[in-house]
Chains A and B, each alone.
Chain A
Amino acid sequence: MIRETRSIQTQLAIVGTGLGGLAAGIFAKYRGIKSAQVGHTGAITYTTGYFDLLGGLLGEQILDPWQGLSSLKKHYPKHPLVRIAKEDIHKALNLFNKELNNMGIGYSEPGNTNLMALLPSGVCKPTISVPLTMLAGVKAKEAKSPTLLIDFVGLQGFSAVEFVANLKKSWPLLTAQRIAFPDMIEGQQVFPEVMARALEVPSTRQKLAETIKPFIGNAKYLGLPSILGINKPDLIHNNMEELLGVKVFEIPSIPPSVPGMRLRELFEQKFVDKNVTLIPQHKVEHIELNDDGAKLFFKDPFGDIEISCKATILASGRFLSGGLKAEQQNIVETLLNIPVTQPTGRDDWYQEKYFDPKGHNINQVGVEIDNNFRPLNTKGEPINRRLFAAGTIIAHQDWVRQRCGAGVSLSTAYQAVKYAAKVLD
């Protein structure tokens, strides 16, 4: 096969296309920095779509995340979020939000307090920003409005009846109905992705609306699992509201779910321009750091690719995404073998009780950084003055328990780009 080795010269290389990496890409673009970005399927693909800033601390729900940050500082002085000025966190969230809106997925503006957003199990979680397709759910729940919740024959992991059962006490006017999604094969499993892509077709939306209408009754709101399209969710959401004559909202379903796919495909299609190269579904195999920057090496089907850059941001995530890897006894960082702060032995990875409010030690592991967001070696010195870290690969945060996944990713990305920009000047 005719193959070519390609060299990409850029200012900033970003390793990872999770929330951290993509946010870094956006912030770099915003600052006029030329960037090249490589990453594969990671945690972002499995998210609910909600952007959490800080929703939990020591087993308590946090309603005002901005105030929560002060308590966080007391208990977790090394937490990456408490090393960043609130003002910068604000900027990071707002800028990311604005860009997503510009590119075509609407998100609610991050406010002063958390929203109580619905989860597929029927519980709510505090979060700072939600996709516009999900916003009405927060309001319906808050106002306890008459609401019909739909699920689908053949869809696994989302049951309207269970959802209603869990919320019946606090939301008596919530009812459930199961329907068959138009044109699906009987007796077969139906995936949210399949329904979402089908709803990109106007005639399918009409058929679905016709199927739902007879059950609406007095309901003012209609909830369904997150299936309102992949590429034009807001348009499809509005169209369904028009067709049904009620407010419509989505509830995230369990993975493989649609909100993460939306983000991934949005970036693949809308993010790239003459200053931004994005190489999706690939992983960097090897990095050589040098005084002037770095060289990154990997292959795609067409041949070898080499990225030369003046600064690098490592946003390769944790275990699920492959930024960190658990070996027999210890945890390692996979690309540069950066020291990982971790419990002394495997026995200390988990607490005895799964729901221990302290959380599990394994969920705090990661690389150490200096004030400029550069990862550190065992002596506590930056590994390279042009290497930065962003996202959940950074130690001392437990995004699972603290519900701070997006908050950590976006604001650390903002900082990493800010400091990278300084070495690029």
Chain B
Amino acid sequence: MTQKILDFNKLAHELLPKGSGYDSCIACGLCSSGCPAAGFFGMGPQHFIRMAMLGMNQELATTPWVWTCTQCKRCLYICPMNIDVSLLVGAARGAWPDEKKPQGIMRSCEAQSLNSSTSAMGLTSEDFIEITQDVLEEIKAEDHRFNTLQVPFDKKGAYFVVNQNSREPGVEAEEMGPLWKILNYVGANWSYTSKGWAAENFCMFTGSDAAWEKMVTQRVDAMNELGASVWINTECGHSLYALWKGIERFDLKANFQPGNLISYYAQWIREGKLPVNSDWNTMGLKFTLQDPCQLVRKSSGDPAAEDLRFVAKKLVGADNFIDMQPCKSANYCCGGGGGFLQAGMREQRRAYGKRKFDQIAATQASYVLTPCHNCHSQIEDIGEYYSGNYHVVHFWTLICLSLGILGQQERRYLGPELENLGLVPGDINAKT
């Protein structure tokens, strides 16, 4: 395959709303100033626009910079003229010959197309079911309070259909437990599907609409078949966006509503179904929060950001919560988005992440709450690389910790100070 050369300026006219084409750029530079990918390969959002205006299509079609833009849309957020660079970054990616695209992203997308499970780690439906059953048995064996805990598959009449990122069954299966416990605690009527259960979506990042559409269609079909009302995608922003944006973009019929789990946590807390508190945090451990751009800026906006904060403050204590700056819709991407983690450009990814690292370090928090899987991996990686002094946790870990139902195996992301906090005594099973 040879490189396709797009006419970027023309495409911008076609794809962008009236008044927000590239010709309305006033060259103020705010987009690049707030873009952690600005500077790589001599490029940045403002350069991209200027080059498109100058007709430098060859350069734009071949610059590897497009793989360092995480398509986080912070540039769009801040731009006085509402110019969206990321749409054309997607188009530029799509025009690359497959064999030249970052192979990590391509392989993950291919793996997703292999069978009906849509898992980027190549897990089959059978694998997934088997792994969940194993984990469930372990939980029951560890703590008799969960003797009746269930992990339903393809359960007709379920209200929630839940997807699961393959990373959990693939490499850290115990991390699924807390989510099940929470759903059980609030009495949610939920189910996994055996097909199309995997939450991640790398095909979107390849820039190939066809591959993205195929992936979304497969999932939507599986969930339509189940007939649940609301689809939730663990806590992950990336997965949420990739699916619902796909549904909109490809005009698919979904008989369910995409919802976000964090807002359900908030609702359950308000309704008293999830009576969490921060009493456990007697050490006054400080927490900050990464707003996933896919969930906040790109999906639900500041209302989702407010829910994130409401839940976080309940869990750790308002005084122990420190916002990163900037935050909410103005937040920076951590550098894990757009397939960057799979793109093999480690040096750039970490340089991108340095911006985030500084923002975390400025809070001096010892924990970063990251609902999104991509953010989670990236923020851990940069923490290690730049010798940060923090741990990275999901909300579900803290919710279960606060409720006193977090098992021994479910603490891999907690620091040593929380290793044993609130653990049920080892002989709890023996007592009954």
B-binding residues in A (CB < 8 A): 1-2, 4, 40-42, 45-46, 183, 185, 188-194, 197-198, 200-201, 203-204, 230-231, 255-256, 265, 268-269, 279-281, 300-302, 320-322
B33-A191 in contact (CB<8A): yes
Interface string of B230-267 (1 = CB under 8 A from A): 10000000000000100000000000011110010000
Q: Which B residues lie within 8 Å of A265 (CB)? A: 325-326, 330
B79 with A41: CB separation less than 8 A: yes
Instruction: For B77, list chain A residues within 8 Å (CB).
Output: 281
Are A281 and B362 interface neighbours, CB within 8 A? no
Could you say which residues of chain B place their CB within 8 Å of the CB of A197?
A: 325, 355, 358-359, 362
Q: Does B51 contact A (CB under 8 A)?
A: no
**Residue-wise interface mask of B (10-51) relative to A, using a CB-CB cutoff of 8 A (1 in contact, 0 not):** 000000000000000010111011100011100010000000
Chain B: interface secondary structure?
helix
Q: Quote the shortest CB–CB distance from B71 to chain A (angstroms).
A: 16
Please give me the residue from chain A that is nearest to B243 by CB atom.
A1
| Closest-CB distance, B74 to chain A (whole angstroms) | 11
Residues in chain B near residue A256, CB distance under 8 A: 28-30, 32-33
Most A CB contacts (10 A, CB to CB) among B38, B244, B325, B355 go to B325
Besides the known contacts A2-B260, A197-B355, 7 further A-B residue pairs in the complex with CB atoms under 8 A apart: A1-B244, A1-B257, A189-B32, A191-B32, A197-B325, A268-B330, A301-B297
B167 at interface, CB cutoff 8 A? no
Kindly list chain B residues whose C-beta atoms are within 8 Å of the C-beta of A1: 244, 257-258, 299-300
- In the complex, chain B residues whose CB is within 8 Å of the CB of A281: 77-78, 329-330
Nearest-neighbour CB distance to chain B for A240, whole angstroms, equals 15
- Say yes or no: A201 contacts B361, CB within 8 Å: yes
In the complex the two chains form, is A41's CB within 8 Å of B80's CB? yes
- Whether the Cβ atoms of A188 and B303 lie closer than 8 Å is no
Interchain CA distance A359-B306 in the complex, whole Å: 47
Nearest-neighbor residue (CB-CB) of B351 within chain A: A185
Known contacts: A2-B230, A201-B358, A322-B80. The answer to whether A302 contacts B325 by CB under 8 A is no
Whether A301 contacts B298 in the complex (CB less than 8 A), given A41-B79, A188-B39, comes out as yes
User: Nearest-CB distance from B140 to chain A (Å)?
Assistant: 33
B33 and A192: CB pair below 8 A? yes
Q: Is the CB of B323 within 8 A of A300?
A: no
B142 interface residue per 8 A CB criterion: no
State A265–B327 Cα separation when bound (angstroms): 9
The answer to whether the Cβ of B301 comes within 8 Å of any Cβ in the partner chain is: yes
> Min CB distance, A268 to chain B, in Å?
7
CB of B33 within 8 A of CB of A203, answer no
**Nearest chain A residue, comparing its CB with the CB of B327:** A269
Q: How far is the CB of A174 from chain B (nearest CB, A)?
A: 28
Contact B361 A203 (CB under 8 A): yes
Interface of A is mostly: loop
Q: Across the interface, do B244 and A231 meet the contact criterion of CB distance under 8 Å? A: no
CA distance A300 to B297 in the complex (A): 10
Asked if residues B325 and A231 are in contact (CB atoms below 8 Å), the reply is: yes
Query: In the bound complex, what is the Cα–Cα distance between A320 and B79 (angstroms)?
Result: 12
Nearest Cβ in chain B — how far from A138, in angstroms?
27
List residues of chain A with CB within 8 A of the CB of B44.
189
B221 within 8 A of A: no
Question: Could you tell me if A2 and B257 are in contact, using CB atoms closer than 8 angstroms?
Answer: yes
Q: Does B302 contact A (CB under 8 A)?
A: yes
Query: Would A193 and B259 be within 8 Å (CB), given that A201-B361, A281-B329, A322-B80 are in contact?
Result: no
Chain A residues in 8 Å Cβ range of B29 = 191, 255-256
CA–CA, A1 and B351, complex, Å: 33
Closest partner residue, chain A, to B230 (CB atom): A2
Q: Which residue of B lies closest to A42 (CB)?
A: B80
Contact of B325 among A191, A200, A279, A322 (CB under 8 A): A200
CB contacts under 8 Å to A, within B352-402, are: 354-355, 358-359, 361-362
User: Across the interface, which residues of B come within 8 angstroms of A192, CB to CB?
Assistant: 33
A189 and B38 within 8 A (CB): yes
CB within 8 Å of A: which B300-333 residues:
300-304, 323, 325-326, 328-330
A194 to chain B, nearest CB (A): 7
Is B26's CB under 8 angstroms from A320's CB?
A: yes
Per the bound structure, the CA–CA distance linking A297 and B304 in Å amounts to 21
Name the residue on B nearest A6 (C-beta).
Answer: B303
Taking CB atoms, residues of chain B closer than 8 Å to A190 are 39
18 contacts across the A-B interface (CB closer than 8 A): A1-B299, A1-B300, A42-B80, A45-B30, A183-B354, A185-B39, A188-B39, A189-B44, A194-B355, A197-B325, A200-B359, A200-B362, A204-B358, A268-B330, A281-B78, A281-B330, A301-B298, A302-B301
Interface string of B60-85 (1 = CB under 8 A from A): 00000000000000000111100000
Residue among A42, A190, A281 with the most chain B CB within 10 A? A281
- Counting chain A CB atoms within 10 Å of each CB, which of B30, B244, B260 scores highest? B30
Inter-subunit contact B258/A2 (CB<8 Å): yes
Who on chain A is nearest to B32 by CB? A191
Q: Which of A4, A201, A203, A321 has the most CB of B within 10 A?
A: A201
Chain A min CB distance to B292 (Å):
13
Q: Are B300 and A255 in touch, CB under 8 angstroms?
A: no
Chain B contacts of A203 at CB under 8 A?
Answer: 361
Cα separation A271 to B19 with both chains bound (whole Å): 31
B358 contact from A41, A42, A198, Cβ within 8 A? A198
